[in-house]
Each structure stands twice: as structure tokens, then as C-alpha cells.
Amino acid sequence: MHSGDPDSLKDLFERASALPADEQQAFLEHACRDDPDRQAELESLIAAAQEAEGFFDSLADAVVSLSPWSDDSPTGLSETALGADPLLGRTVRHYRIEERLGSGGMGVVYRAHDTRLNRAVALKFLPRHLRADDAATERFLVEARAAAALDHPNVCVVHEIGEDEKDRVFISMACYEGETLRHKIERGPLAIEEAWDYARQIAAGLGAAHAHDIVHRDVKPGNVIITPEGVAKVLDFGLAKLTDVTLTRTGTTLGTVAYMSPEQVRGTDVDHRTDLWSLGVVLYEMLTGERPFKGDSTAVVLHAIQNEDPEPPSTLRPEVPPELEAIVGQLLAKNPAQRPAGVEDAGLVTGEATLPRGVFAKPGSPWARVLSWPVAAALVMVAAVLAVWSFVWGPTPNEPASELPVATVAVFPFDNLSGEAALDRVGEAVVFGIVDGLSWMDEAQVVGRDAVRDALRSSGQGAGAREIAADLGAGTSVTGVVMSLGDSLHLRAQVTSVATGEVQHAVDASGLSADERVIIEELKQRVMGAVAMMVSDEPSTRYLLTAPTYEAFQAFARGQERFDASDHQGALERYREAYRLDTTFVSALNGMATAYANLWQPELLDSVVTLLESRRSELHPIEQHYNDQRRARLEGDRMRSVEAVRATFQLDPGPHAGWLIVEAVHAGRPEEALQVWEESDEGQTPSFDSPSPWYRVVTAQHMTGRYQEQLATARRARELFSERPRFRFQEIQGLVALGRLDEAGGLVDELESIERPAEADQVAERAVSWYRAQDSESYRLGMVEALLLSDRPEEAERLIRVVLTEYPEGLEAHALLGNALARTGDPAGAEGEARWLEELDRPYLGGANTYSRAAIAAHLGQRDLAVRLLRQAIQEGVSFEFLHYEPVFAPLWGYEPFEQVIAPRG
């Protein structure tokens, strides 16, 4: 190596800096094995860069007056660690130094009091060891001049640039109350509107800088202060570069790695568009709580920035609006020329992306609407031509046999509707891609291209695609068109059933002609997805309106398998994967919502339901009713929930009979549930493969006094679902209701409630014994209920108080304590628990707290209050399912107003 070669030094510095710290030394020793001086120089540069990086990360925190550096700060610096500081307590010019806030390679920051203007300021001093370095001094002053040149509410105010009596250069800056954006994000993703608002404010501050030819070059959450009034202020133009001043060696990369633009990573010249990239990264992080480019080492992050597209924000947070996601996508375009021209063009104010494509956009996606008008015109022209095209390639008088295998596919040449010779090659590439993709599918067999071509030659002029496909033994045909208009390219494929002549799926892919390969791949994936849907034996696929990509469909099908196995968490993970792979696949969102509903994660469920409501037109009518039911459940409206499920049942009875039974019982309509049960031949439909509807049928029979039928159905269910103990309980319940207590006692392993406690004390005792034998914390609440059943409220009280020490906010624990206190003769304590429940302010309670208050009132002898609260709880969403045998309401049994409340509604 030649030590005088600056390019080599630069190259080695960048390559070494991109490596993890524990790999740098070995790299330098090998690369500089013939030049120890070069190795020492590089080691010094890397050490200085690391020190400076730490300072820039901390500067924003240093100027937040309520966030001084302390032992619990990110760097762990403290006054003790820093040692005695001679400036503390001194007055520099008219600034009294009060506290040292931070230090690093490019300066030391103090909090000071401006005695002349009586205000708090932050003073940043150039460190002594750099003052002799003209370049470092000049960089420091450029930072100050750049910031001082800006007068904008979203930019940190710089009051003064000066020197003290010992020639120490300093900058006086505003000292703000508030916190950095980094600290806010550390607590989790921001509210959508909040993130959007901060992004608009940051953009406004950057726009003011760009208008003065100042590029920040280090936009990140740590360099943004959020004041208590919600004002965002951009700090630290320490890396700013005036267009007429060059202070750094060409190619030097500055800035925090995770927020650096691709051009910064490459070390090429940057302009204001590098700030737009960083703003996109910050907005992505505000929305999701995660950075778009992540890795275990600097090298991995740098590679991701230059070569990989991040996941769309909506895959991590489904409620992110498509419009905002499009804006983030255009800001993160790797080519600066494909980003907005300036912050005013980014769409943050209008809420509309201004460029046709971003990194998240895919042909055929909801963002297709942001394509230019020529694409829209092309779509209209394609639609006009398709009528003629469908006639030419449509059904023929000779109807093919219905037994043709649907999984065998014939792919026909795509028609070039534009007449441009160049598009003939595109059509050939499309067909080749589809045939190749289908050949890899386990679910399908594809007819070779040569066989299709030969059949077309020998068929004559009158034969259509459907007739030729039938002759080739294919039950499915794929035909298509290619069209262009200006710079846009449009592809459409029709996947048709040869037996019926019906188009099963029309698949489109559109975009800029320069993205030809991407568009072809998109169409191929969706044709494969459409074929997979046609041959799938999964019932839910009949509700898919549009064909997803094949990869997304596979993930969705795996999610359905996990759902059918009652593994709702596993299903959720696969639905998420499907949506990540194809954000146009709205049915994957629908699957996520179903999983959240079964896991009862109401906050997440609410966000996905809201997103689905905004995309209602993309859903199958069945899926629309699914979402209506989820919204009704979130709002505690049981009757509206039944109506939504009844609508699905009317459209497709077989798969939805069991669900209608479940919701009817919850809403207090056991007669309707039993009518559906009887019409389904008492469980002979696909939806009765799971235990849930069986359990509700038994409950409906109990609610209507059909105890003999209840006993018989419970025993059938026990045989079908032997691993489910709840059916043992329901059998016991039926035996007790029929007065067959000896038989019930022989079956008891667990008993939570019975309808005739006076005749079943021994059974309750056995329940207490069973719970006590379980060596698990999760059984303690059940133990409390069993103690209350066996009339041992004092023991129940002692146990529940122990539980409350660990879970002081547990609703069920407070309800049980109030119940126990009411039974031990402590009405004041019981009413105190009832007040706690009344004041509970949590979303998605569904009347649970009101229900518990009613139970406490019942045991305090306040029967009218208990009935009134129970009516309210039912209006708020409490299920009727347990009211007919719940022992907490035993004091109300036989009380006419109570019996009216729990009377079946239908």
C-alpha cells in the first residue's frame, strides 16, 4: 500500500467502519500488514469517529432542560463520572454556568443562565484539543451560522455565537422544556395523527433550512424536541453543509447510520433530498415503533439501506392509512430523483402521495390510484377491448366435459392490444413466467407451451381457447392481454373454468414500463394464486374476491390450517405473513381480525376492524358481515351481533350454523339456537366440527328446561371431544337439574356452579378439594369460587387478598372480594369494591364490571339494585349464557323481576 494515497485511506476507513467493532481490528491488521503507520492512522480515525458519533447522539438531550444527563441517561454520564469541572459556577461573558449536560468529540454542553436577558440557555463549547484545528473550528462555526440563519418555529433558536476571555468559542441556544422524539418512540408507536403532525412540523423546519441552502444531514428522533405544547423543533445542524462551504474530505460519511440515506452510505454528494429520506425513516419509526432498516451490525444496516426494501408499515401496524404509507414509500425511494422534489411536495399536508410509486407500491395494489392518468386511461381502454377479446376466447357451442381436471392449466399467448412490436416480447415473457411458475406448484399441472402452440396451429380459425384447452385435457385456461400507453404498462390475465366458461379471476398488474420485470412477476404470482384458490379444498377460499400472490395464498392457507386446529396464535402469525407478502390481500386482514377476536385482544381487533371498514368494498359480502359482527361485539351490542351472523347464515348456511347458535345463546335467544340445531340435523354440518356450538346447544337446552335433552347432547359431545372437560361439567349440571345427585357426584372433577346448592354441598366440597390439589397459581381464582360455593367466604377472602397483592387491578379479583365481603357481613367493604368497579374506566369491558356490581348487590340483599345493574350489564354486552345457573345470583332465584331479566328472548 502507498501511504500517500488518500482514496485508499478513505476506502479502508469506510470498509472498517462498516464492520462490527469486534471485527475491525482483524481487518485493519490484515489490510495494513505492510504499512503499520497506515494502520495506526486508521485506528485513530475510527476512534475519533466513534467518540463524535456518541456526542451527536446526545446533543438533543443536552438542550432539553428537563432531561439533563444523569446516571439513568442513555450514556450513563454523571457529575461524579465527569469529575470536577472548572466552568461550573463561573460566569462566561453574561452567562452563569449552572450544570454540565453532555460532552463529546465536537463539543461540551452546559445549561446556563443568561443574566442579561434573564433566561435559561444551553451553551456549547468547542473542546480545547480541537481549537488548534482550523478545520474543526470552521466546522463548529458553520454549524452555528447554519442554525442561526434559520428563523422558524420548528427549528431550534440560536441566540449568539461568541468567544470568552480565553478565546473559547461557544454557541448560545434556547433551552427547551419537553422531551426528544426518541424518548417518545421508546414508549411505543405514536398515535397516527400525532405521528403525522410531527412529520409535518419537522418537514416545515427542514423546508426553512433548505430554502437557505442548508442540508441538515442528521435528521433522527434524537434531534427533534417535542415541547409540552406539542411543537416539534429540529435541533443540531452540526452536520449541516452550506452549499458554498466544503469542510469534509469528499466521500466522508457522517450521520447516524440507521437514518442515513443511500447516497450518504455510498459517500457521494448529497443535497436536501437526503433529509427527505431521513424524514421517511423517522416517520416510519413513529408509526411502527421500529426502524425500517435493522441489523445486528453496522454492516448489515448499511447493506439494507442500499439494497433492501423495508416491510410496509401496515404489516406491523394494520391501521396505518394507505395514503400515509404511500408518502413514507416515496420518501424512502433509494434513488434521490424518485423522491419528492422538496418537503412541500411530500404530500404531508394534503395527505396524498405526489409520485406514482414508492418502495411499498406494487402493481395492482391500492396505490395504483396514484399512478398517472395515462395508466387510468389504459385501464379504460383495456376494459373496452376485453368485451371483444372475451367473445373471441370465450365459450364455444361444443361444451367441454365437466370432468376436466381443474388443476390442469393451459396458458395461451397473450394478445398485444397496443400493436407495438416491442410488446410481443413482453407477452412472450409473461407466458413463459406463468408457465414456469405453475410448473413449480404442487397443486397444479401445466400444459407445455409447445403443446398449446401446436394445438393453436392445427385448430383452425374457428376454435376458441376453451375448446382447445378441453382438447388438451385442461380444466383451467389462462388467457391475457398486454397493453401500454405512454410510460405505463398494463397486463391482464383471465383464469377461466373450461367446464363452465366462467371467468373465475381477472388479474391485473400495472405500472411504469421501466418496471417491466416487476410487473410480470406480479402477474405471475397472482395467476398462481388464482389457480391455487380454484383447486383448494379449504371452504373459506370461496370468500376471496381477488387473487393474492401465490406466496401470500400459501401463508393464508397455513393460517387456515392452524385456525381449524384451534391454534389461534399460530393462525394469526400466518395471516400476518400473508398480509406482509401482499398488502392487497384484504382477506388476510380478515383472518387477522378473526384471530384477534378469538384471542380476545380487543385493542388490536379494533384497529384491524377499523381498517377493514375502510376497505369494505374489497371484501366478500360474507366477510363484510364478519366485520359487522366484530364491531358489534366490540361495542357490546349482542343483538346487532346476532343480526350480522344471521346474515352470513342466510348467505351460506352450512359453515355458519354453529356460529349463529353461539351468538344466539349469548344474546339470550336459545329457541333460535335450537331451531338452527334441529334444521342442521342436530350437528350434521361442517361448522359442528368444533366444540363451541355443541357447548352452546347444551346451554340452550338448559336455559329452556330441556334437561333430558341436555344430558343426552352433553354425552354425545363428550364422546366427540373427550379432551374437553366442559362437557363433563354440563353432564353433571344436567344430572343435578334432574335430581340425580349420586350420579353427578361420581363424575365430579371440577364444578364451578350448580343450580341446586342446598342439595349439592358435598359436590362443592369436592370442587374445593380438587382446586386445592392443583399446584398452580392459575387455579387460585377457581379455588376462591369453589370456597364461595361451599359457603366458606372467610377463606375465600383471605385467598383473594393474596391474589390482589400481585394483581391489584384485576377486575375478577375485585369482584370476588366484594362477593366474599358481602357474605362475611362486611357491607362497607363490599360496597367499596362495588365503587371500585363502578369507577373502572377501561375500554372493551362489555359490561363485566356492571355484572360484578350486580352480583355484589345481590349478596347484600339489594335485590332491586342488583336487577337494575344486571339489565344494564346486558345492554353493555354481557352474555346470557351463564345467567340461568350462575350461583352468584342465587339470592335472586325465584325473585320475579330477576326471572323476567333472564327469560329467553327468542
Q: Which residues belong to the active site?
A: 218
- Under 8 Å between Cβ of 97 and 91: yes
Other beta carbons within 10 angstroms of residue 37's beta carbon come to: 9
The C-alpha angle 454, 459, 461, rounded to 5 degrees, equals 125
Helix or strand or coil: residue 229? coil
Q: Which sign, positive or negative, has the C-alpha torsion 805, 809, 813, 816?
A: positive
Rounded-to-integer distance, Cα 454 and Cα 458, Å = 6
840 to 431, 561, 806, 810, 869: CA distances (angstroms): 62, 39, 18, 11, 15
Question: Which grid cell sits at 471?
Answer: 382438447
221 to 102, 154, 192, 225, 289: CA distances (angstroms): 18, 14, 16, 8, 11
Rounded-to-integer distance, Cα 208 and Cα 14, Å = 32
Q: Which sign, positive or negative, has the C-alpha torsion 690, 691, 692, 698?
A: positive
Q: Which sign, positive or negative, has the C-alpha torsion 209, 210, 216, 219?
A: positive
Nearest CA-CA partner of 843 in 596, 666, 569, 605: 605
Helix (H) or strand (E) holding 653: helix 653-666
Question: Which grid cell sits at 719?
Answer: 364422546
- Spell out the residues 6+ positions from residue 886 whose beta carbon is closer than 8 angstroms to its own: 753, 855
Rounded-to-integer distance, Cα 308 and Cα 295, Å = 12
Rounded-to-integer distance, Cα 674 and Cα 676, Å = 5
Rounded-to-integer distance, Cα 22 and Cα 27, Å = 10
For residue 61, how far is the Cα from the chain centroid? 30
For residue 120, how far is the Cα from the chain centroid? 42
| Helix ranges, 18-35 (H) | 21-31
- Under 8 Å between Cβ of 263 and 336: yes
Helices (H) then strands (E): counts for the chain: 37, 17
- Under 8 Å between Cβ of 694 and 674: no
Q: Which sign, positive or negative, has the C-alpha torsion 713, 717, 722, 728?
A: negative
